[in-house]
Amino acid sequence: MSENFIVSQFFKGGPMMWPLLLCSVVATIVIIDRLLSYFRLPSEEDAEAQLNEVESVLKEQGEAGAVEYFQQNSGVLNYVFAALLKRYDSLVLENRTDIEDVRQELITVTEEAGLSYLGRLLNALGTIGVLSPLMGLLGTIVGMIAAFDAIAQAGAGDPAAVAAGISQALITTASGLIVAIPTIVFHRYLSARAEKAFKEIELYCHAFANTLIIRMGERTNN
């Protein structure tokens, strides 16, 4: 299949081919971005070292030093740690002293922040998977309208007058499915991978949450 053939078929598909092309580009970018982010997850050794470093900064420089540390460093663990510290500060301002209540709050924040970071852009990928075949269907309808209009003007006895509209309809349908099928497959895979990745870092997030709980207990006793 030559490049000229693909280009000619693209233009034959009509105006709906452009949003389908945009969807395919966006989906490809999201898939590559998410795959790279999962490959960059910290190892057990790196995660342990990062946790120890954050706890050391928190102990020596307090919340302000930890916030500055998070601003200077990226990654999923720092993202979750920053969310935990932010929630911890708000709990302190609210004068929440029930340790079990604080623990549940921080567990909730851990799950929300971790899955939010790891599942970033996956909603957009799922939306593309749903919209692409619908846009292909819309292109089909537009093509059939053009085909019937050609029949009305040239008569049913002229197959060439009908072929252009039917061709446009079939091209957009196929293109919508070509974009949607791999997008949906990758969406399911990446969603499962995000949950697995969260399980890999959950222990270290809970460890930092426990550090904050101990810190709050010490603050309350003082």
Summarize pLDDT for 130-165 with one digit per residue, the tens.
Answer: 999 999 999 888 888 877 776 777 665 566 666 666
pLDDT average, residue stretch 162-181? 83
SS3 (DSSP) at 186: helix
pLDDT category at 209 given cuts 50, 70, 90 is: very high
The rounded distance, in Å, linking the Cα atoms of 78 and 71 is 9
Structure-block tokens of residue 97: 């002293």
The rounded distance, in Å, linking the Cα atoms of 180 and 172 is 12
Structure-block tokens of residue 179: 């974009």
SS3 (DSSP) at 50: helix
The rounded distance, in Å, linking the Cα atoms of 123 and 203 is 26
pLDDT category at 1 given cuts 50, 70, 90 is: low
pTM of the model: 0.83
pLDDT average, residue stretch 92-113? 87
Residue 63 has pLDDT above 90, yes or no: no
pLDDT at res. 4? 78
Report the interhelical angle of 44-72 vs 76-93 (nearest 10°): 60
Provide the residue ranges of all domains of the chain, joining segments of one domain with +. 3-221
Half-sphere exposure of 103 (CA within 13 A, CB side): 8
